[in-house]
Amino acid sequence: MKHLIRLFVSVLVPAFMLVGVAANSAMAQDKAKAAAKSYERLVLVDNAKVVVTRVTTKPGGESDSRLRNTYRVVYVLKGGTQERTFADGKKEINKYKTGETRFVEPDKAAYKIKNTGKTDIVIQVVQLK
């Protein structure tokens, strides 16, 4: 009987460990997919004169740091609050109102954004080439 219990445990414990490793790996992949979907740029038009994108930032979502060096028109489909973080650590708050349109000049410094609100922010950006 003791031999049977030892055999059972020697098979059962590694099986549980293997299941745990597989589950942990799957959870890590799910987190990576969720992070990738927290900030999404969808190109709607890209031709010789203009690029039109729709940018969706979920609550807590962040962009990569970028320097936007062109003139842009931004139309806010769904507003909210974003925090801009510059390379030197300086931060500023940027509030978007639904239905608002902005003309934006080229950036002077690269920054990344983070949605600090509780709802998605959706903007449509027309970038002149």
Q: Tell me: the pLDDT tens digits for 38-53?
A: 999 999 999 999 999 9
Residues 6+ apart with CB under 8 A from 102: 73, 74, 76
> What is residue 62's three-state secondary structure?
strand
**7 or 108, which is more confident:** 108
pLDDT digits (tens, 9 = 90+) for 22-35: 445 545 555 555 55
Measured CA to CA, the distance from residue 90 to residue 94 in angstroms comes to 13
**pLDDT > 90 in the chain, percent:** 67
**26 or 81, which is more confident:** 81
> What is residue 66's three-state secondary structure?
strand
| Residue-level pLDDT at 29 | 55
| Residue-level pLDDT at 18 | 45
On whether the pTM is more than 0.85, the answer is: no
| Residue-level pLDDT at 36 | 53
Q: Is residue 115's pLDDT more than 60?
A: yes
